[in-house]
Amino acid sequence: MTAVSLPSASAATTGPSALRSVGSRLWIIAVWTTVIFFIINLLGIIAAVVTSSFATRWLRSWLPSGYTTRWYVSAWEEFQLHDVLLVTFQIVGAVVMLSGLLGVPAAYAMARREFPGKKALMLLFLLPLLVPPVTFGIPLATVLYQSGVGGTMAGVILANLVPTVPFVILVMIPFIEQIDPRVEAAARVFGAGTFKMFIYVLLPLLMPGILASLLLVLVRTIAMFELTFLTAGPTSQTLVVALYYAVFAAGVRAVQSIDAMAVVYMVTTLIWLVIALRFVNPTQMVTRAKRQPAH
């Protein structure tokens, strides 16, 4: 969808007028300068957190006066990171599994059947991705608190399903559509029942798509702040929410300790991002689900 293969003849062109004027050269330099400036600042922001987390004392100087790992030990205890990480993985694991179980079959039905009301369903699956979490998160949190699951782990999991199930569906629909339905027909002709057909034919074919979409769900759920923040109680905070409270209450604890926690969060996210990027293109992080309504 996002990958465009250029015809071989033009693959090496640098635009129609290969012969550039001074003006266009300046323009190109300006564009790249902007990009590089942006990236330097971005990497600077990340590096500042990492450096600070290892700093003994860092005031009024370019670099800290010394380095230590003790902030990680103190952050681990102060913020009860052991518990927080456990809760995070339980919530993320449940969200990934449930959105796979709900999303993949729904995507299969959406990709393979034409039925009345399909357009309305498509809208139902698109809206949670288009409406920002804060907007629907507050009424959702209200409902969850009134029904008694607010503040519990179950409530956090339910709230996180709202964007992830549609995400899986929208990633999987084009993936399923490109699998020739005659493959399934052939499996049936050779005597495979529905269950065997699913296990031996469909699942292996769908696996790359399922893997990719669930990895993206995983990364997004670890980083999902708003919904978790609005629905979590003290025992159901994920890492990113705990980090928010720590930053919010800055001054209570040492900056380095908060930064150590931030690094733990960063590493947790980036490990999964690196794994996910083996299976998906970075642009898919935003465009797969978002491009659908464009047509």
Partner 1 sequence: MATPAIPLSTRLSARGLDGVTLLVLPAAIVLIALFVYPFGYGLWLSFRPKDGTLLGNYGKFFADPFLYDTIYTTLALAVPVTLMNLFLAVPVAFRVRLMRHQRLLTTILVLPITLGTVLVAEGMLNYFGPQGWFVRALTSTGLFNVSQIKLVHNYWGVFLSLLITGFPFTFLLTLSYVTGIDPGLEQAAATLGARAAERFRHIFLPLLVPGLAITFCLSFVQAYSVFPSAVLLGAPAGPTRVISIAAYQAAFEEYDYSMASAIAMIMGAVQLVVVVAVLAARNLFYRGPAAGAKG
Partner 2 sequence: MTLLSSFKSLRLEGVSRDFGVVNALRDLTLEIKRGEFVALLGPSGCGKSTALNCIAGLLPTTRGQIMLDDRRIDTLPTEDRGFGMVFQNYALFPHMTVRNNIGFGLKMRGIPKNEAAPRVEEAIRTVRLDTQAHKLPGQLSGGQQQRVAIARAIAIDPPLVLMDEPLSNLDAKLRLEMRQEIRRIHQSLGCITIYVTHDQDEALSLADRIVVLRDGAIRQVGAPEDLYARPAHLDVAEFMGFRNRINGRVQARDGNRVQLTVAGTTLDGVVQEALTGDTAIAAVRPDDMVPVAPDAHGIDTVVEAIEYRGRDFFGQARSKTGDELFFRSEQRLAPGAAVRLGAEPHRVLVYPGA
Site for partner 1 in 185-244 (CB under 8 A): 219, 223-226, 229-230, 240, 243-244
In the list partner 1, partner 2, none, the entry touching 262 (Cβ below 5 to 8 angstroms by class) is partner 1
CB 172 within 8 A of CB 248: no
CB 151 within 8 A of CB 145: yes
| Residue 261 CB-half CA count within 13 A | 27
| Residue 181 CB-half CA count within 13 A | 6
Site for partner 1 in 5-64 (CB under 8 A): 6-7, 10-11, 14-17, 24, 27-28, 31-32, 34-35, 38-39, 41-46, 48-49, 52, 59-60, 62
* CA 81 from centre of chain: 22
Collapsing DSSP to helix, strand or coil, 115 comes out as coil
**Binding flags for partner 2, 15-54, as an x/- string (CB under 8 A):** -xxxx-----------------------------------
Using the rule CB under 8 A, is 293 a contact of partner 1?
yes
CA 178 – CA 100 distance, rounded (Å): 19
CB 88 within 8 A of CB 271: no
Query: Looking at 11-19, 37-45, 46-54, 166-174, which segment touches partner 2 (CB under 8 A)?
Result: 11-19
CB 168 within 8 A of CB 215: no
Site for partner 1 in 123-162 (CB under 8 A): 124-125, 127-128, 130-136, 138-143, 145, 158-159, 161-162
In the list partner 2, partner 1, none, the entry touching 225 (Cβ below 5 to 8 angstroms by class) is partner 1
What DSSP state is assigned to residue 294? Answer: G
What are the phi and psi torsion angles at 16 (to 5°)?
-60, -45
User: Shortest CA distance to 79 belongs to which of 223, 256, 227?
Assistant: 256
**Binding flags for partner 1, 265-284, as an x/- string (CB under 8 A):** xx--xx--x---x---xxx-
Minimum CB–partner distance for residue 7 and partner 2 (Å): 8
- What is the total count of residues that contact partner 1 (CB under 8 A)? 104
Residues that bind partner 2 (CB under 8 A): 7, 9-10, 12-13, 16-19
